[in-house]
Amino acid sequence: MIAGTARRMWLVSVVVLAVSLWWSGARAEPQVPCYFIFGDSLVDNGNNNQLQSLARADYLPYGVDFGGPTGRFSNGKTTVDVVAELLGFDDFIPPYATARGQDVLKGVNFASAAAGIREETGRQLGDRITFSGQVKNYQNTVSQVVNLLGDEDQAANYLSKCIYSVGLGSNDYLNNYFMPQFYSTGNQFTPEEYADSLIHDYGQQLTILYNYGARKVVLFGIGQIGCSPNELAQNSPDGSSCVQKINSANQIFNSKLKALANEFNTNLADARFIFVDSYGIFQDIISNPAQYGFRVTNAGCCGVGRNNGQITCLPFQTPCQNRDEYLFWDAFHPTEAGNAVIARRAYSAVQASDAYPQLVQGKPQVPCFFIFGDSVADPGNNNKLPTLAKVNYKPYGIDFPAGPTGRFCNGRNIVDFLAELLGFENYIPAFASANGTEILQGVNYASGAAGIRKESGKQLGARISMGEQLKNHRTTVSRIIDIFGKKSLAKNQLNQCIYSVGMGSNDYINNYFMPQYYTTSQKYTLEEYADVLIKQYTRQILRLHQYGARKVALVGLGLIGCTPDAIKTYGTNGSACVDIMNNASQIFNGKLVSLVDELNTNLTDSQFIYINSYGMGSGDLTLAGFKVLNAGCCEADEVGQCIPDLTPCQNRSEYVFWDSFHPTEAGNLITASRTYTASEPSDTYPMDMSHLAELQINPQSSLVYGAPQVPCFFIFGDSLADNGNNNNRRTSAKVNYHPYGIDYPAGPTGRFCNGRTTVDILAQLLGFENPIPPYATARGPEILKGLNYASGGGGIRAETSYQQGDVISLDQQLLNHKFTASRIASILRSKRSAGQYLNKCLYSVGMGSNDYINNYFLPELYPTSRLYTPEQYATVLVQQYSRQIMSLYESGARKVALIGIGLIGCTPSAISAFGTNGSACVDKLNSAAQMFNQNLVSLVDQLNTDLTDAKFIYVNSFGMGSGDPAAAGTRFKVVNVGCCPINSFGLCAEGQTPCQNRSEYVFWDGFHPTEALNVITAARTYSEFDPSDTYPMDIKAAIYFVTNIVVLVVSMLSQSPPVYGEPQVSCFFIFGDSLADNGNNNLLPTSAIVNYKPYGIDFPVEPSGRFCNGRTTLFLSQWEQMTATWTLMMINVVLVISLLQSCVCGEPKVPCFFIFGDSLADNGNNNRLQTPSRGNYKPYGIDFPQGPTGRFTNGRTIVDILAELLGFENPIPCFANTRGYKNIVRGLNYASASAGLRDETGSHMGENVNLNKQLLNHKSTVKRITSIMGLKQLSRQHLQKCLYSVGMGSNDYLMNYFQPKFYPTSKQYTLEQYASTLYKYGARKVVLNGGLVGCTPSSISTTNGSTCAENLNNAVQFFNQKLKSLVDQLNAKLTDAKFIYVDMFGISGSPSDLTAAGFKVTKANCCPVDESGQCLPSKAPCQNRSEYMFWDLFHPTEASNLITARKTYNSSNSSDTYPMNLSHLIQLRL
């Protein structure tokens, strides 16, 4: 297999990822060495010709314009044929069926007509090669390429340069989902579910392609199948209107495919996946046919019947003559003319939407790119300055097309690469040489030796400081205004540009750490100096903002202590680098991140991002192909620059540094790539440059349109909130007809009211200019302000209201919201940004009425009233509701209003149906509602207790509806009859005239309130009229929870102060300056002393040293003290909650996951230890996205898979590589290969991190988390919710007990002590894993390879039994915790179980091993890894790990896990 062996990242400058990075002219060679094609009949070029299939086109008139039939489903060339021409290939890519020998080196076409993503798709047409079959054929081809090129590394390098075109999915709809006579998928899945299933399978096959060398992949979306002649002929009423049902399903698939491309780009840093919007391209052609030369877009050129589409092109049928005027050739496939348009737009993205990410040839993603910086970015501005800091001589520029230009590098610098990635055809010109209109694409102001401070670098001579660079930019802005003629036009241009600012390195290297020239190190500590720099930097950035900058990347300092010059000058004192210099960088960077946050908060019309150069330079650089890390490629002079004209090293791509300070082009390439598309979440913050480029800036307003009090409002509910979601559904619960909407501006919209609903009015009170749109019709960016998912008839229970037809239950509404959240993540270009955005929204959830009206109290249709008493039913409902609300929380909801059930027994329909038996209302219905509401209030309390970073409120609809309505200022006269004449369903009879005095009616129809009552309910929900209206606060207060503390404090101060007889606290300590000083300076030798008049003129004890006429802020009344205390407390709550929210990405089921163990869980902790027990080399990690990481398997470990099942977006990081709070708060992996319970275990293998050390490491982590959260109580609460996995003991047998020559005696550290210590540090949910060591290939080899080593297994079984007993003891002793035991020994199963699971090899290892039992470096492992249980002599394959993890998580077998499985453990509330 070809794993990810391309050694350096690569760049692209066109959509199909193919064009060379150099601007050369015409070339004889194609732009890429090879082109591989996967697809269906749209690109099949003959693979089906010899198959027993109806899906063949090897007869005339197919190929009439190609020179004859070849199997192509067109008159001429297909899309990929045209793309091959555009890529420069002399001939078309051969089909797999005929490709032989050297032919495969230029690529192969594997496409097969009728093929789909699903295996069964197209089977009614006969044989075809499914996507998985095509991928298997490709794997065979890769083997041929390896043989032709000599070895896997050369093949991997070759294949990484190829283009891979993948376009499947059309047949999964045409020849599967929408063909119910042959397939059941249409009944099994909703369109959403089907698309999810397809994308899951698609992703698996793409992963295989990646594992076999694919690095540049183009994913073609599905076109408008509903507009094909065949669908128009069969399903269009007029033969020209497209079939929306099919097109809608196709759009769902495409949106998910686009998201999949984004996911792969995020997770696979050395690859690029591009989504081509075939649907949008088709739509544009059909909407504007004349623009492309087409006259006929709804009929085939060749075919039979209506639209020439009922039967496709028959053998020897005469086609149309004017084929270039037809979009379609036959019933399904485009003509060559149509294919040419699609191919050209895929190749060069004529419109920005044609491809994603937007990398468009000849059309940059932003209009201009301005660069401020030092020598890392200088392109020649210093060339004519009197300075030592200039390099316009050889060997600088040895690899740059123009030779030495003044760049401090052998080739391109970071901003050169960024310019390419942004789509600029030429590099950004230096200010020193920029002329005329070329400044419109941007200017590079960077200057070698420049700093934030004016004096930095002065010992080297002239340079252009940051302040001077800004002056130069002001000059450029004036010139741009002159070019545009209007300041407003220039402003619009400048607002859309990218600004890169990288300053600060010289303020340390050529200032602070040069005490012989500068005094800053005597004046300031490192902390103080960073503060001084950031203050000055802030003023400079704000000036840049004044000049029009709205998209700004602030580049952090790199590892300045690791440069060859730093190491030579200062020495490392045993470290790898100069620690004090790196510490200085980190202090500065920490403050720079805070500045980014501050700027984004205060300048809402802008976006600032931080580039983590320091983090990108950390880690193991050898994994990127570098071999020389601490020396420059060229021989340097005393300044640290290359000596003129001396020959540098030949292997420049293996050097990190070019001279004594600056990276090579190879290093710059990686940094630029990770800046543009972050390969790690820590690379950039809060987004990468590709997303910054796509961000649309509106300079006229802040990012929040109309400034509502929350950015978005999401609504879940039933007919009380439905605003049209049921309109196009098959249900009687819809009201898109008169007289509904009689008082609504847009007329009948589907609202169950005469006018506005409660949520409409709430939206207005919240400040939204327009009502929140219904989910059914919302499109594009409008979803950012929220969506209304409510559906008439919807309930908590899925079956509720089924008699009314197709209504949307709460479960389905929540699924719709998850899709919305993914769409928002796509719009905001980041899951993290979407999560932060959704945290700020308001969520209204009103459900339950129909679960009574249209379920419990309909015994003729539902059994619930026979199964449950009203009390039991309320409990069951709220239990289900609780799970649904938790799902909403996991999707980002943090401000949630839960609407209680109203007086359902007082509706006109209830009174008519049940009678009142002398009461005013139907008591049994109202009693049931009250039971539900009481449980709901308890749920609100529980949620607010358990989810401290959220606020849930209860809205007392029942209470608001009780009593005298006039008390709320109304004049309702009719309270038990609807305003409109009603039908048998209790809804208004269509077309009937309602009452005229609608404002005097409580009810509009048989169930729903009038707008007049909705106004009152909304007003009381927003700002409570009575204390019982909402609990524990109203919506107005809830929306200011966390977001607007000032308003909360002002509100508190406006209330009457209570009177207290005693202080509320026993003591009050004050720290401060003159604002709080009450005499401490009186006896000091200082001029800052005021113990004289007129100070204190209004203070009871005259001048006291207070800097005031009377009392200071902190000398307060008791009420004022309470207010101040609350203010401080709330501010702390805000800070802590903000921190907690930033810790968890994607809302996993537990906030953190800590792992202790050995090589079964180690993910890199041993990589830097002196030990052979390391797995950081090939073939380890061959199936893992990042390649070898230190994991002792081919792919994921058990704990990796468990982390995925728990909902973590990324694997838990290893302790050895963790930096910063963002990693540690979500958990750490401490596991270390060869480690054991006993300290000495595995020591004969070298270093390891035994359990004692792992525990000490965790202790330090706990301290760091406590420091982050500020309070020990908060950190303990956080840690108590985490999951802890402990897997130890195997090595105590394999590498201790059964190794008597090494371990005659030992000191013991028991697992019970270990578990108790974990408990001491906060662990409350702990998994203890039993072992299985006697059946590994290593152990079996001791029994002549036939059976497991019983002596080993018996020993481990004894251990496991003790471990299980320990679980019982711990659970009995520590009642606020829960320990579970996982039986790794039994979970693997019997031989028949293993065979059933797909394992064919259970006693042998997949990779060739050395004498220690580990894989031999770079030796090819087995191909059929999923059939092997063991990877090497000791460790399972990913396939085996997957089974173990899944059983651990959700096994129903009590012997697998005891006393419960992992999924139940995480749900426990302790």
Catalytic residue annotation: 41, 330, 333
State the CB neighbour count (10 A cutoff) for residue 1418: 12
Angstrom distance (rounded) from CA 1248 to CA 1257: 13
Residue whose pair of structure tokens reads 């543009």 in the numeric block: 676
Residue whose pair of structure tokens reads 């050995």 in the numeric block: 1158
Burial class (CB in 10 A: 0-12, 13-18, 19+), 1116: middle
Nearest to 223 by CA among 341, 133, 320: 341
| Residue 1005 CB-half CA count within 13 A | 27
User: At a CB cut-off of 8 Å and minimum separation 6, what does 152 contact?
Assistant: 2, 5, 146, 1420
Angstrom distance (rounded) from CA 169 to CA 111: 12
Q: What DSSP string describes 1209-1256? A: SSPPPBGGG--SHHHHTT--B---TT--SSTTTTGGG-----HHHHHH
Name the DSSP class of 714.
Answer: E
Angstrom distance (rounded) from CA 153 to CA 146: 9
CB 1288, CB 1158: distance < 8 Å: yes
Angstrom distance (rounded) from CA 849 to CA 925: 10
User: At a CB cut-off of 8 Å and minimum separation 6, what does 518 contact?
Assistant: 455, 511, 512
Angstrom distance (rounded) from CA 782 to CA 72: 42
CB 275, CB 265: distance < 8 Å: no
- CA distance readout (Å), 1096 to 278, 1080, 1106, 1110: 78, 15, 7, 5
End-to-end CA distance of the chain: 48
CB 1227, CB 1212: distance < 8 Å: yes
- The stretches of 603-653 forming alpha helices (DSSP H) are 613-617
CB 268, CB 3: distance < 8 Å: no
User: In angstroms, how far is CA 850 from the centroid of its own chain?
Assistant: 36
Torsion of CA 712, 715, 720, 723, to 10 degrees: 70
CB 331, CB 311: distance < 8 Å: yes
Angstrom distance (rounded) from CA 1459 to CA 1130: 41
Angstrom distance (rounded) from CA 1460 to CA 1454: 7
Angstrom distance (rounded) from CA 843 to CA 823: 18
Q: Which amino acid is at 82?
A: V
- CA distance readout (Å), 619 to 233, 614, 856: 61, 10, 61
Q: What are phi and psi of 655, to 5 degrees?
A: -100, 135
State the CB neighbour count (10 A cutoff) for residue 1047: 14
Nearest to 339 by CA among 13, 17, 33, 45: 45
Burial class (CB in 10 A: 0-12, 13-18, 19+), 827: middle
Angstrom distance (rounded) from CA 411 to CA 428: 15
User: At a CB cut-off of 8 Å and minimum separation 6, what does 856 contact?
Assistant: 862, 864, 865, 868, 870, 873, 928
